[in-house]
Amino acid sequence: MADRARSFGSLAGDYAEHRPDYPADGIRWALGGVTGPVLDLAAGTGKLTSGLLALGLSVTAVEPDDAMRAELSRRFPQVAALPGAAEEIPLASGSVDAVLVGQAFHWFDQAAALDEIGRVLRPGGAVGLLWNAEDTSVEWMAGLMALAGTTAGISAPERTSMPTHALFSEPEVAMFPHVQRRTSDSLAETLSTHSRMIVIPVAERDAVLGRIRAYLSSRPETASGEFDAPLVTKVVRARRV
């Protein structure tokens, strides 16, 4: 799992270009009314940072991968982007009102990360965990995902939950519909940025992407022009007690 967690930096530019953002309603719900300074933890190239800035919030980003962090700084030079890990956050105790994590909490040592998140949060502050996933209740998307698997599997991202922790209230969960405007080529590029695609041999990756492109070319919903790729965003939130 550690190799997969560290795999994204090799495609930082592609990740920034092709990964979806997060729905504003989901971000607001994760914040639970918090308007003070926010930490975007494991911020990657700034997909969640962008949504936080759009809401007028003061954001600090922490990201361990140098290439991902450099891409974030290129896109959002006004944001302080610090090297650091979820298990060792380079911020003072009680220095932020919210900690949000986009598409990354499943990679953490979760108990240690929650200890650190609890340390940097002020009492009453919010922790929000967000995950985008393909909406397989849509028939054509279910068919696509059925043939998009690889030998790396998808076990790590299945851990889209927050364990109970003494520093936090009982977690709440909400789901938000979302879309990403795509073409058949750009949707294939999006899927190619998933860790299960990055870590496999080139020959396997080429074969999987070939199946994906053939399928998208065969479906009336995706064969020509732009379309909305259906997503669902899972959000888990809790309060610092």
- pLDDT tens across the length of the chain (241 residues): 444 445 454 578 888 999 999 999 999 999 999 999 999 999 999 999 999 999 999 999 999 999 999 999 999 999 999 999 999 999 999 999 999 999 999 999 999 999 999 999 999 999 999 999 999 999 999 999 999 888 776 544 446 899 999 999 999 999 999 999 999 999 999 999 888 888 888 999 999 999 999 999 999 999 999 999 999 999 999 999 9
- So where are the chain's domains? 2-134+155-179+231-239
pTM: predicted TM-score of the whole model, two decimal places: 0.91
Main-chain dihedrals φ then ψ at residue 127, nearest 5 degrees: -115, 130
Where do we find the tokens 């891409």? 71
Where do we find the tokens 């495609």? 11
- Would you state the CATH architecture of domain 2-134+155-179+231-239? 3-Layer(aba) Sandwich (3.40)
